[in-house]
Amino acid sequence: MRSTVVVLLFALALAGCTIEVVPPGGTPDAGSAPRTVDARVDTAAVDAREVDEQTAVSVVDEYWRREFARQGEVYDPPRVAGGYRGSSGPSCAGQPSVPGNAYYCPPSDFIAWDDSLMAAGYDQIGDAWVYLVIAHEWGHAIQARLASSQVSRAIELQADCLAGAAITGAANEGLVQIEEGDDVEISRALSAVADDFPWTDTSSHGNAAERTANFNRGSRGGVEACL
């Protein structure tokens, strides 16, 4: 994805301004993602990923700022604690960070992610990965701002739905460009690394088909479709 207006919205034009994620059965190499993260540090790759992380944060934040304004609501964004390594991340309610995870901490209202989770997805899948992870965690922050009656019991799948609404909504508003292949990257992100990281654990987040269906619901129907 890119944040500047440079290329035609090829995927959007084809899909009617919706990111359509193909079913996980149609993706290559599902489940075959490497389980180890290369320990070598590629400085340029790290820089590129960190730029994408910062862009994803600003794009998703701006989308929700506008959405709350449309609803006549005051928007107070969550804090972004950003990347951490292993168990050295910010604790949440006294609990240490979990290696390989990304999370939203409700009592302290912040979002954090393990650099290794971002790096693995970025390297194996592509830049759409960081947008998905950040938009999903932001979705949990949005849930914390909703009336309890609007928060689904399937809290992880609703966060995927809100991520779809935010990414596609941001693209429709010109905040981010969807590049050809981003839809495939997001589909692979929702399925290919399942169970390799706590963040993609099917027991807590739903299986790949459920995650894909919920992302698509938000992508097609917007925020209302997720509530």
Binding site for Zn ion (CB under 5 A): 156, 159
The residue among 159 and 226 lying less far from Zn ion, judged by its C-beta, is: 159
**Shortest distance in whole angstroms from residue 212 CB to Zn ion:** 15
Tokens of 73: 């609501």
The residue among 33 and 162 lying less far from Zn ion, judged by its C-beta, is: 162
* Neighbouring-strand partners of residue 51: none
**Shortest distance in whole angstroms from residue 179 CB to Zn ion:** 25
**Shortest distance in whole angstroms from residue 169 CB to Zn ion:** 19
**Shortest distance in whole angstroms from residue 121 CB to Zn ion:** 14
The residue among 63 and 138 lying less far from Zn ion, judged by its C-beta, is: 138
- Order across the sheet with 79-84: list the strands: 79-84, 110-114, 102-105
H helix or E strand, kind and range, residue 114 = strand 110-114
How many Cβ atoms from other residues are within 10 Å of residue 122's Cβ?
Answer: 22
The residue among 116 and 214 lying less far from Zn ion, judged by its C-beta, is: 214
How many Cβ atoms from other residues are within 10 Å of residue 88's Cβ?
Answer: 10
**Shortest distance in whole angstroms from residue 147 CB to Zn ion:** 20
* Neighbouring-strand partners of residue 112: 82, 103
* Cβ 21 vs Cβ 187: under 8 Å: yes
The residue among 163 and 192 lying less far from Zn ion, judged by its C-beta, is: 163
* Cβ 98 vs Cβ 105: under 8 Å: no
